Amino acid sequence: MDIATEAEATPLISEAELAERRKAALEDEIYLGANILQLWEIHRYYVRHGEEEQEKLKANAQILGELFFYLRRLLVQPGSDDKWYAWLRERKIKRSKADRLANRYAENRNPVPANCP
């Protein structure tokens, strides 16, 4: 087996390590903040361009919801003096929109079974 074929066959990172890195990233305020700001600008672009960008808008909103969910979880803790609202206000993101996207992610993450009231 030549080196190129061997490199393609050998994963650079194990699934467990990848999962651990993802978990660590979702607990990192700087990582979350940077990605949210980038995706927020993309979101605003898709909103402005209406109908032709609906599928992209929906996909972007799902990712934003996940990131907002984890950032809110980091910032909303007892004694945090509402860092969540301050973070959003500083970046000119409406709290209602961020909360709605985060809540939608949370609902889809843990759906309520149909037979439960």
| pLDDT tens readout for residues 68-105 | 999 999 888 777 668 899 999 999 999 999 999 999 99
In a domain, 35, yes or no: yes
Query: pLDDT at position 90, please?
Result: 94
In a domain, 25, yes or no: yes
Total domains, the chain: 1
In a domain, 6, yes or no: no
| Maximum C-alpha span of the chain | 60
In a domain, 10, yes or no: no
- Segment 25-63, tens digit of pLDDT: 778 888 888 889 999 999 998 888 877 778 888 899 999
Across residues 100-116, what is the average pLDDT? 78
In a domain, 38, yes or no: yes
pTM over 0.75: no
Three-class SS of residue 97? helix
Residues 38-56: b if buried by 16+ CB within 10 A, e if exposed: ebbeebeebeeeeeeeeee
In a domain, 94, yes or no: yes
In a domain, 11, yes or no: no
